[in-house]
Amino acid sequence: MDLLEKAWHKGKNFLKVEYPVIAGGMTWISDFTLVKAVSEHGAFPVLAAGNMPPDLFAAEVDRCIKDLKKPFAVNLVTIAPNFKKHYAILQEKKVEYVVFAGNFPRKADVQAMKASGKKVMAFASTRSIAEQMIRFGVDALILEGSEAGGHIGHVSLIILLQQVLFGLSRVPVFVAGGIADGRMIAHLLLMGAAGVQLGTKFVMTEECSAHKNFKQAFKKARARQAVATPQYDSRLPVVAVRAVKNTGMENFGKLQLDLLRKMERNEVSREKAQFEVENYWMGSLKKAVVDGDVEQGSLMAGQSVGLVQEVKPMGRMLKELVTDAAAELRQVKDNFC
């Protein structure tokens, strides 16, 4: 067994794929086309439910079940308006893996999904949440730092590695946030990661069906331009979202302030306001990814957007990651052993 195979065998065994590299579930991006390409190239694909109409969601899941020869996961966004309907549909489907995203699942959500025969993965943004998810019964954790794109926590990966990865071994721990280089993957594996999750890197592949304007915006973006949304008032809790700064991001700030004013006048409930917040992100992301409106739409991206300036065939992208990771492990061995 070579060094790389030894370093990530735990992740390979859990995901049952050639490379324990998870293509994170990205709303409007991680569709059947991308999922199939990821699967065919040996990595682990995740179908994104987003806030799809339930009938369309069911059809997409069925398509993956029918056409994919290797395992895949379905990403359920717990704060999406259609979450409960998606959850009920997925319980009845022969899908082996489920990833809860957006916010943290309830214990009942985890246990009922496991009872339907599925392996459950969930994100952790602090040590206490990681321990809670394990108590709830998750089969694996995705340790995601705030460098990541989309809905994020508030702690960077470098801190989470020390707080969580070094102290947990009961379940496989995959790490995410700011990863775009095979050499980095090698060192994360040496730290104990079972594998990694990437998102932005998969957007910048030829097989990704995102609009060319969306990819062009990623090409031009610098790491510091991928910023996290603020929460203006605790009365309107907002899960932070990281995206490339544009008019759409500014409009989100204005939406929050408008909703807070309406809440003060009792014109809208907190629940309705939170619904409007999530509805905004789902719609603005579609504007950018599908319609190509990269000014008004949402450019959800991790800070690794500053490390990816080229659209590549997926096979080449993954081969480079794997080759560089293997070479780095050999270099470490030669230098220190």
What is the three-class DSSP state of 234? coil
Token match 């179908």: residue? 47
Mean pLDDT of the chain: 94
pLDDT tens by residue, 189-217: 999 999 999 999 999 999 999 999 999 99
Global pTM reads 0.94
Question: With 70 as the cut, is the pLDDT of residue 1 above it?
Answer: no
Domains and CATH numbers, the chain: 3-210+308-336 (3.20.20.70), 220-303 (no CATH)
Mean pLDDT of 111-117: 97
Residue 56 has a pLDDT of 96
H or E element, residue 176: strand 173-176
User: If pLDDT is split at 50, 70 and 90, which confidence band does 102 have?
Assistant: confident
Sign of CA dihedral 323, 192, 103, 48: positive
Contact 177, 142 (CB under 8 A): no
Contact 46, 72 (CB under 8 A): yes
> DSSP string of 256-296?
HHHHHHHHHTTSS-HHHHHHHHHHHHHHHHHHHHTT--TTT
Q: Would you say how long the chain is, in residues?
A: 337
Which of these, 206, 217, 219, lies nearest to 287 by C-alpha position? 217
pLDDT tens by residue, 74-85: 999 998 889 999
pLDDT tens by residue, 211-238: 999 999 999 999 999 999 888 888 888 8
Residue 202 has a pLDDT of 97
Phi, psi dihedrals of residue 300, rounded to the nearest 5°: -60, 125
Lookup: tokens for 265: 């006048």
Residue 30 has a pLDDT of 96
Residue type, position 160, single letter = L
Question: With 60 as the cut, is the pLDDT of residue 143 above it?
Answer: yes
Residue 274 has a pLDDT of 84
